Structure 1
Amino acid sequence: MRNFVREKKIYCGDKYMEVDLYSLSEYQLERKKGKRSKKKYMTLPKQEKMNDKNARRKFVQLAEANFGQDDIFLSLTYKDKYLPKSYDEAQKEITNYIRRLKTRMKAQGVEEELKYIIVTSMRKPRGKDEGVRYHHHLLLSCGLDRDTVEDCWRRPRRKGQEKGDLIGYPDSKRIQEDINTGILGLANYMAKHTSYKRKWTCSQNLERPFERTNDHKYSRKKLIKFALDPFDIDRWEKIYPGWTITDKDMGIEARYNDFTGWAIYLKMRRKPEKIE
């Protein structure tokens, strides 16, 4: 039985791509070797939980495909008197918040379409008398400034009030192209904290990542050679012109399995266009 090496490119928007290189047997090939595959769009990971490594990876890819420089990362907490008593209550609060964002966008004449990913975390109580504490992390693309985004985390205005009460403590920042404060770092942060129970939702207008596979670009001999010396960034930039590794430590992984052999996983970002 012969083995082939599959190259799987996962395109997440225009600026981020992941590349998987791994061995396949003849029986595992879904089509004739040498044909380029059609686009295959990613299915969304289950929204009930993110304690599976593959689900977390898909979550990060979805975030990379839809958010980037100057979008907003927002954290929302609750004051004790407004703390939800259940997950459904927390979801009702965050749904109302999204509704208020849309109202502000309309009032300010923002034509940009609202896009969001929301992760709701349920922190386990430390003591018997302490209830579950909820908070939310959001990735937002909305065309509003940070002050307005934070100001929407309020209850409706009561009679005699200039503004409604703050529900909790909003904290926002603009996303930068950085390994920690960029989408890659923030999405990993939102997805991986297993000490909390986490559920997530998203707007229906998000662009889905897609993949293409190729079974003739690499030989098994070349895969092994590259896996034994995976951190040659110049080599990867030559193989994938216009792209570079996101980070030497986090952007390259070579893994060996007794049954399938070597596999290589690359995280790549498109190089900025040169201005002449």
Structure 2
Amino acid sequence: MNNKYIQYDYESTFNSKLDADDKRIEKLLSDGRIKGIYATKTIKAGKSFEVEIYPEFTKKSQQGFKLKKINKTAQKNLNDKNARKRLERLINTNFKNGDYWVTLTYTNENLPTSLEAAQKDMKNYIERINYRRKKKGLNNAKYIYVTEFSEKGRCHHHLIMDCDLDMKIIESVWKKGRRNNVRRIAEDEQGITGLAYYLTKDPQGRKRWKSSQGLKRPIERKSYSVISKRKIQNMIKNQDSIEFELEKIYKGKKFMSAEVKYNKYNCKFYIYARMINAKNRE
């Protein structure tokens, strides 16, 4: 069944946020011109659980309309957004409360002149960390780091790492700067999503990231039947019902937030919801 439907970047076509009290919802629902089907995708990343509900179209039903094309600037913004989303999910999947969040800085005389030089500094740093881990009988570190250059050219690194090695060693191994900071990750009500978002937010300059090998990937599943078309329509008309419906379908998950967007080109809707393991709220 999957091959029957066109794969497309559904999020880029849904750019009109729909207010819950929009009186046009009923009319918009009845104006659907394109025959297709709604897909429901879930993304499990650690304690974070996302739900994306969006339409897919058959090749036959696509005749007579074109999916909206976006300009280069909008495409770059979308690519950046998707890259941040992938990184956020990777962080949620692999790290937890109590792991390390490390900020590594440079003194003026040690400032790297390029991204490549900065990443070489981090490569050497990670190698020294792994050498100390090996001496203690530990496997190589599990990590993700983000390198940021400010508009003024200053560079620093944000590193998320497992907590197997002593904090003092983590800090002392870095020799390029003095104002370094090692602290333990403290989860909020959404796990470590807040930290992940902070590290992946729009930069004041340039950001690049790298990770250790063997990190776990978020678990994605797609279904055409888990939520009926009628139920989707009801959630669009009454957005207050989204919380009830999703918590009923996804047992053990707690609703956090949702938004509904409308595509004026094909008269279809997109629902995005963020949930979390219910026990995380206790």
Alpha-carbon spacing, 1:138–1:231, altered in 2? closer, same or farther (3 Å): farther
Q: 2:215 aligns with which of 206, 211, 224?
A: 206
Distance 1:213 1:50, change over 3 A: closer
Cα pair distance change 1:178/1:228, threshold 3 Å: farther
Aligned-residue offset at 1:112: 4.9
Greater percentage in helix? 2
Taking structure 1 as the reference length, the TM-score comes to: 0.75
Flag the 1:260–1:95 CA change in 2: closer, same or farther, 3 A: farther
Indicate the residue corresponding to 2:52 in structure 1.
20
Question: How do 1:144-163 residues align onto structure 2 when only pairs under 5 Å count?
Answer: 144-154=165-175
1:10 is matched with 43
TM-score (norm 2): 0.73
Aligned to 2:100: 72
Mapped partners of 1:235, 1:3: distance in 2: 22
Does the alignment pair 1:114 with 2:141?
yes
- Give the whole-Å Cα distance in 1 for the aligned partners of 2:277 and 2:139: 24
8 Å CA contact 1:9–1:17 kept in 2: the answer is yes
Letter in 1 for 2:57: S
Q: State the shift of 1:198 in Å.
A: 0.7
**Secondary structure of residue in 2 paired with 1:65:** helix
Correspondence for 2:181 among 161, 171, 178: 171
Provide the rounded CA distance (Å) in 1 between the counterparts of 2:87 and 2:240: 26
- CA offsets 1:238-269 (integer angstroms, 9 cap, x no match): 11101112x3xxx3222222125221112222
- 2:262 partner amino acid: Y
User: Amino acid of the residue matched to residue 58 of structure 1?
Assistant: R
AA at the equivalent of 2:154: R
Equivalent residue runs for 1:179-194 within 5 Å: 179=189, 182-194=191-203
Matches within 5 A, 1:1-276: 2-13=35-46, 15-27=47-59, 52-109=80-137, 111-125=138-152, 132-154=153-175, 167-179=177-189, 182-232=191-241, 233-245=243-255, 247=256, 251-258=257-264, 259=266, 261-272=268-279
- Note the alpha carbon deviations across 1:98-138, whole angstroms, 9 max, x for none: 112112222333x354111111111112xxxxxx1111011
Which amino acid is the alignment partner of residue 137 of structure 1? H
Gaps (5+ residues) in structure 2? 1-33, 62-76
In the aligned structure 1, how far is the partner of 2:245 from the partner of 2:237? 13
Residue deviations 1:2-42, cap 9 Å, x none? 331111112224x322111112223399xxxxxxxxxxxxx
Q: Secondary structure at the match of 2:279?
A: coil
Report the CA distance between 1:194 and its aligned residue: 3.1
Q: Which amino acid aligns with 2:260?
A: A
Conservation of the 8 A alpha-carbon contact between 2:98 and 2:163:
no
Contact preservation (8 Å) 1:50, 1:192: no
* Distance (Å, rounded) in 2 between the aligned partners of 1:18 and 1:88: 34
1:9–1:228 CA distance, 2 compared to 1 (3 A): same
SS at 1:144's partner residue? Answer: coil
- CA shift, 1:175, in A, is 1.3
Counterpart-to-counterpart distance in 1, 2:132 and 2:149: 28
Superposed CA RMSD: 2.7
Distance 1:263 1:269 in 2: 20
Unaligned runs of 5+ in 1: 30-48, 126-131, 155-165
Within 2, Cα distance between the matches of 1:118 and 1:50?
Answer: 22
- Distance in 2, matches of 1:265 and 1:68, equals 24
Q: Which runs of 4+ in 1 moved over 6 A?
A: none
SS in 2 for 1:5: strand
Could you say if the C-alpha distance between residues 243 and 144 of structure 1 is closer, same or farther in structure 2, counting changes exceeding 3 Å?
same
Identity among equivalent pairs (%): 35
Cα distance in 1 for residues equivalent to 2:78 and 2:233: 32
